[in-house]
């Protein structure tokens, strides 16, 4: 029966997914197929697996039903205890706290001064504070494939954000710490010690390697490691734990018996797990190490696959929500694939071939999960892992540990090793950033659909089975699935119009059927207010990085046919540089005479990237298949116009509907448009200037006569858009309204004769 616990673990996974997620038809097919397989091939395991699936389904369902709040939204008086390390980033202060009712909430506070920033750095785990504040619901995902903050907190049993009206140290008192909290405090002290000892270029890497903490790393560097498939090097993994346990065991048996050494390690490993952040990969590795040590202590044996399976079952029993984390999925699937392939790998005599095969197996097994979470894969990841895995395992990690240890014994000696490891890390980081930016082998495939995920799974399982027989050509089936996924948009008869939620701004995505064209009208962009140095955050919100580019990558968009910037306001083109940097653009279109101080750098960057820059005016048009586009504005005129009234106005016929995209056109521009086109009609109107009272005049609505109006406006924006007068005007004309501040992103999926509107937030 050795190696058969994995079947029970898989059944447990099915139970958790059934109890914690919305049921999908393919999910039902997979479960039925799995148990049918067990009934035919593993009949002795059928009943235990079925019991495991039912048990975990009921347990997860119970956890989900009890994962609710007990706090009323109108609550304003709070007494909370800090239960996790605080984070101060510029003028932002946040921490997880527990209320006196026993519920965890996420505290968010904007610091008022640099002095307050210094004072709040003294707040630590165990402090109890009293204040007045307000509860807010966390935001759900407001764009396709975007990070879902509400789900992220829900999986941590957190249901509210609390924003204090004011907060001071005088309202806080310390309380005794639990053992767990003392360990977290020691961890924070260790992180601060690394930040103090190591230069900024290497401090973040050393923190990641020793404590599993990446918050001090530059965002660009983290993105680079992720793009190149090297991010696993910066997580505490099985290799870290194996190296540490082996080294400690070797040292301990020089002074005590093997049994005593085993017991010491069993006591120390949970402490190490907490000290390194208890991420899914750490917990898996520590549990497996402890299971192996227990078996060794009892002088019994168990195959690695059973140990991995037991670790999986234990983690799901402790926290079923862990299954939905990318770290859990990647850690277990890669370990599973490597354990099954250990015989094939061991047959290779050359160490280089073994490492190459290990890297290849890890990359292939993780492929569908990487695509689902990150939308792209780099072929450079395999050769780079061959170089970076030994570099990190045998040089950077040992040197980091040695540098830190020596610094506690002798600062001058420690400083020498710190300079040495810093030089290596700096050089490594430069190469990572360079290769990530220039990587010609990075393929954006988009997020696979459930059907494609099934195809990847089938192709990978088949390829690994054939590999055991010494036949590697079957991996071409995996490549074939990837090629089919990349080609699928060009075979899809559906087109799409999407109004992205970019806050207070515009960003409209248009994809024609069979991907005959992909257009982006505006990009959104953050209007940044001047900040003092102490207020600047290491991770400032960037709509291009956080919304627009991830959306395009999730769609599998590798090239934009046209990037259309209606005018030069930052809330319409602020993210254009990020889009140009990340996505290939064929043509940049701007309005005739619209170049201003904000647009000039974008145009310069476009020309540097070899992008054709065209200036549009009334009369320009193009047609692709059944889709037609007409530029109605700006009109050549001697009279000076404001930036808003120089907006490109685009009329389009997409599927069964006609569309009018108006940018920030105001009443003056609307009147000019109606003078040129007195009989203009449109089914869908993109309301001008975010619903400002300076736009969408009565005469304009009387002429256009739209059936539906879309208002691109930020939630709780400081301009109080859309204006009530505009809403009343639209209502008076019986025009249906979709608002991004209320509905999140708005999608229209269409064919030649039919179409459907969908919203992200019902």
3-state secondary structure string, 33-102?
A: HHHHHHHHHCHHHHHHHHHHHHHHHHHHHHHHHHCCCCCCCCCCEEEEEECCCCEEECCEEEEEEEECCC
What gap in Å lies between CA 622 and CA 193, rounded to an integer? 61
Tell me how far CA of residue 460 lies from CA of 134, 312, 359, 507, in angstroms. 50, 21, 15, 38
Q: What is the pLDDT, as a whole number, of residue 245?
A: 86
Tokens linked to 657: 């509907």
Estimate to the nearest angstrom the gap between the alpha carbon of 32 and the chain centroid. Answer: 32
Tell me whether the CATH fold assigned to 77-176 matches the one assigned to 492-528+542-759.
no
pLDDT at 706: 97
Q: Higher pLDDT residue, 163 or 343?
A: 163
At residue 397, φ and ψ (nearest 5 deg) are -65, -50
242 pLDDT higher than 90: no
Torsion angle of C-alpha atoms 637, 638, 642, 645, degrees rounded to 10: -10
Q: Taking residues 210-235, what's their average pLDDT?
A: 87
Q: What is the pTM of this model?
A: 0.92
639 has pLDDT over 70: no
Per cent of the chain over pLDDT 70 is 99
Which residues are bridge partners to 105 per DSSP? 97
Q: What pLDDT shows up at residue 595?
A: 83
Residue 638 clears pLDDT 60, i.e. is over it = no
Write the CB contacts of 319 (distance below 8 Å, at least 6 apart in sequence). Answer: none
pLDDT at 352 over 90: no
pLDDT in tens, 519-567: 999 999 987 778 888 988 887 888 999 999 999 999 999 999 999 999 9
Assigned CATH topology for domain 492-528+542-759: Metallo-beta-lactamase; Chain A (3.60.15)
Three-state DSSP class for 746?
A: strand
pLDDT value of residue 713: 94
Decide the pairing of beta strands 684-686 and 657-661: parallel
* Alpha carbon distance 647, 555 (integer Å): 28
pLDDT at 470 > cutoff 90: no
Question: If pLDDT is split at 50, 70 and 90, which confidence band does 453 have?
Answer: very high
* Distance separating alpha carbons of residues 422 and 206, to the nearest angstrom: 9
Question: Is the predicted pLDDT of residue 343 greater than 70, yes or no?
Answer: yes
**Which helix (H) or strand (E) segment is 194 a member of?**
helix 179-197
Q: Mean pLDDT over all residues of the chain?
A: 91
Provide DSSP, 586-628.
EEEEEETT---TTHHHHHHHHHHTT-EEEEE-TT-EEEETTEE
Q: Hey, where are the domains in the chain?
A: 5-66, 77-176, 492-528+542-759
pLDDT of 357 over the 80 cut: yes
pLDDT value at residue 23? 65
- Asked if residue 684 lies in contact with residue 697, where contact means CB atoms within 8 angstroms, the answer is no
Using CA of residue 578, residue 583, residue 585, residue 591, what is the dihedral sign? negative
Instruction: Give pLDDT, residue 747.
Output: 97
CATH architecture of 77-176: Beta Barrel (2.40)
**Locus of tokens 């510029």:** 90
The answer to whether 525 and 505 are in contact (CB under 8 A) is yes
At residue 1, does pLDDT exceed 60?
Answer: no
Task: State yes or no: cis peptide before 722, omega within 30 of 0.
Answer: yes
């Amino acid at each position: 029966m050795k190696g058969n616990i994995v079947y029970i673990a898989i059944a447990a996974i099915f139970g958790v997914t059934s109890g914690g997620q919305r049921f999908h038809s393919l999910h039902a097919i997979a479960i039925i197929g799995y148990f049918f397989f067990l009934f035919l091939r593993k009949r002795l395991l059928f009943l235990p697996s079925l019991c495991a699936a039912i048990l975990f389904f009921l347990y997860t369902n119970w956890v989900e039903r009890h994962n609710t709040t007990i706090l009323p939204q109108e609550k304003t008086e709070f007494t909370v205890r800090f239960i996790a390390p605080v984070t101060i980033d510029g003028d932002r202060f946040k921490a997880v706290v527990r209320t006196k009712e026993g519920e965890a909430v996420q505290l968010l506070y904007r610091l008022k001064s640099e002095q307050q920033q210094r004072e709040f750095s003294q707040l630590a785990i165990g402090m109890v504070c009293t204040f007045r504040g307000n509860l807010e619901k966390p935001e759900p995902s407001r764009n396709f494939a975007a990070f879902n903050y509400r789900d992220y907190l829900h999986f941590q049993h957190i249901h509210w954000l609390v924003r204090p009206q004011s907060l001071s140290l005088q309202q806080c008192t310390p309380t005794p710490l639990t053992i767990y909290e003392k360990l977290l405090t020691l961890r924070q002290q260790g992180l601060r010690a690394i930040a103090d000892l190591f230069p900024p270029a290497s401090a973040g890497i050393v923190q990641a390697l020793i404590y599993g903490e990446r918050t001090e790393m530059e965002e660009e560097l983290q993105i680079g490691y992720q793009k190149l498939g090297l991010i696993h090097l910066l997580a505490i993994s099985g290799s870290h734990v194996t190296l540490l346990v082996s080294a400690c065991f070797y040292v301990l048996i020089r002074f005590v018996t093997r049994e005593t050494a085993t017991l010491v390690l069993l006591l120390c490993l949970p402490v190490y797990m907490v000290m390194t952040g208890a991420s899914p990969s750490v917990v898996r590795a520590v549990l497996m190490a402890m299971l192996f040590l227990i078996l060794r202590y009892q002088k019994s044996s168990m195959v690695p696959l059973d140990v991995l399976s037991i670790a999986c079952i234990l983690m799901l029993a402790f926290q079923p929500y862990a299954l939905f984390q990318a770290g859990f999925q990647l850690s277990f699937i890669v370990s599973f694939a490597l354990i099954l392939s250990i015989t094939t790998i061991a047959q290779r005599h050359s160490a280089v071939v073994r490492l190459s095969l290990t890297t290849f197996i890890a990359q292939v097994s993780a492929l569908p999960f990487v695509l689902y979470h990150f939308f792209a894969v780099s072929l450079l990841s395999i050769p780079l892992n061959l170089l970076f895995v030994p570099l990190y395992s045998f040089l950077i990690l040992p040197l980091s540990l040695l540098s830190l240890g020596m610094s506690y014994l002798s600062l001058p000696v420690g400083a020498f090793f710190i300079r040495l490891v810093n030089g290596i890390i700096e050089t490594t980081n430069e190469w990572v950033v360079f290769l990530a930016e220039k990587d010609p082998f990075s393929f954006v495939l988009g997020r696979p659909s459930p059907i494609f995920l099934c195809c990847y799974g089938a192709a990978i399982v088949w390829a690994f089975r054939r590999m055991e027989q010494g036949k590697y050509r079957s991996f071409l089936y995996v490549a074939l699935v990837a090629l089919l996924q990349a080609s699928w948009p060009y075979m899809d008869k559906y087109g799409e119009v999407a109004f992205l939620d970019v806050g207070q701004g515009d960003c409209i995505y248009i994809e024609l059927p069979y991907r005959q064209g992909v257009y982006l009208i505006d990009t959104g962009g953050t209007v940044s207010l001047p900040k003092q140095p102490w207020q600047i955050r290491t991770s400032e919100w960037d709509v291009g990085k956080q919304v627009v580019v991830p959306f395009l990558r999730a769609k599998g968009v590798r090239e934009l046919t046209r990037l259309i910037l209606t005018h030069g306001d930052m809330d319409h083109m602020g993210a254009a540089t990020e889009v140009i940097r990340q996505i290939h653009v064929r043509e940049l279109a701007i309005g005739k005479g619209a170049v201003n101080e904000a647009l000039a750098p974008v145009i310069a960057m476009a020309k540097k990237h070899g992008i054709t820059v065209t200036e549009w005016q009334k009369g320009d048009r193009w047609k692709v298949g059944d889709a037609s586009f007409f530029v109605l504005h700006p009109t050549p005129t001697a009279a000076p116009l404001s930036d808003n009234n120089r907006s490109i106005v685009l009329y389009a016929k997409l599927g069964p509907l006609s569309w009018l995209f108006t940018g920030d056109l105001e009443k003056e521009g609307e009147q000019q448009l109606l003078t040129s086109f007195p009989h203009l009609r449109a089914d869908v109107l993109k309301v001008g200037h975010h619903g400002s009272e300076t736009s969408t005049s009565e005469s304009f609505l009387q002429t256009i006569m739209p059936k539906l109006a879309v208002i691109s406006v930020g939630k709780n924006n400081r301009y109080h858009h859309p204006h009530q007068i505009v809403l009343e005007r639209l209502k008076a004309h019986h025009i249906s309204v979709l608002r991004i501040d209320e509905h999140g992103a708005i999608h229209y999926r269409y064919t030649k004769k039919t179409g459907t509107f969908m919203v992200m937030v019902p």
